[in-house]
Amino acid sequence: MVNFNVLTKSPIFKGLSEEELKELFGHILFRVKYFKKDDLIACSGDELLSLCVLQKGSARGEMIDYSGKTLKIEDIETPKTLASAFLFGKKNRFPVTVIANNDVELLSIPKPEYLNLLQTNRTILNNYLNTISSRTQFLSEKLHFLSFKSIKEKIANLLLNMAGSTYHSVELKYTQQQLADLFGVTRPSLARVFGKMQDEGLIKINKRTITLTNKKGLNELFQKN
């Protein structure tokens, strides 16, 4: 059975009431699939033909590298969707292998039925477009940061970008862990560089507020290259 209460909390269906969801689901076809711990949900490369929403349990995304080692990429918890940015597009295939961590219930809505939902309900359309666009924007930002060689350059770029020409202090919206993920480095390395930049008098850190004490010095980090 569909758990409408859980669905109202999912990124795709948020903003709708249980009653509205029940009414909408009365007009489309869907399935609920059941998996046990360590069951294979999808293989990397499988074509994505349905929107898949976890309504119970959690799953993990895995990749196998060339030495045969299995790497865990991420955990996907209820009420998230599986690979929602890969449902459309030229390569609508699972980017990773998905395996159940425990008892899993997966709501599966075939693409044509999901398109009906998007066309009928503006909230779902908006939620879905926001979800996949935010994903693109995160990846695009991450690629931008990777183009800078050192962590120091990445931090300086972020701070100068946030401050613009007017401000001399900025409020970090990311946690250190989120920032480390964005830069593709570990959290301790990031913390070390932040500390070093404070010692050098480039910045002053007070909780989440960072004062750019030497904007000229931060700028010069880039001119050297």
Q: Site residues (CB under 8 A) for its own copies?
A: 65-67, 85-92, 95, 115, 118-120, 122, 125-126, 129-137, 139-143, 146-147, 156-157, 160, 184, 219, 221-223
Q: Which residues on neighbouring strands pair with residue 62, listed in sequence order?
A: 72, 97
Q: Output 186 or 219, the one with its CB closest to its own copies.
A: 219
Least Cβ distance, residue 37 to its own copies (angstroms): 27
Q: Output 143 or 191, the one with its CB closest to its own copies.
A: 143
Q: Output 100 or 155, the one with its CB closest to its own copies.
A: 155
Sheet strands side by side (includes 81-82): 31-35, 104-110, 50-56, 81-82
Tell me, what amino acid is at 3?
N
Whole-number Å distance between alpha carbons of 158 and 107 = 39
Least Cβ distance, residue 112 to its own copies (angstroms): 9
Least Cβ distance, residue 20 to its own copies (angstroms): 16
Q: Output 5 or 219, the one with its CB closest to its own copies.
A: 219
Q: What is the CB neighbour count within 10 angstroms for residue 177?
A: 11
Whole-number Å distance between alpha carbons of 193 and 188 = 9
State the DSSP string of 49-71. -EEEEEEESEEEEEEE-TTS-EE
Q: Output 147 or 206, the one with its CB closest to its own copies.
A: 147
Q: What is the CB neighbour count within 10 angstroms for residue 131?
A: 16
Least Cβ distance, residue 1 to its own copies (angstroms): 29
Least Cβ distance, residue 5 to its own copies (angstroms): 26
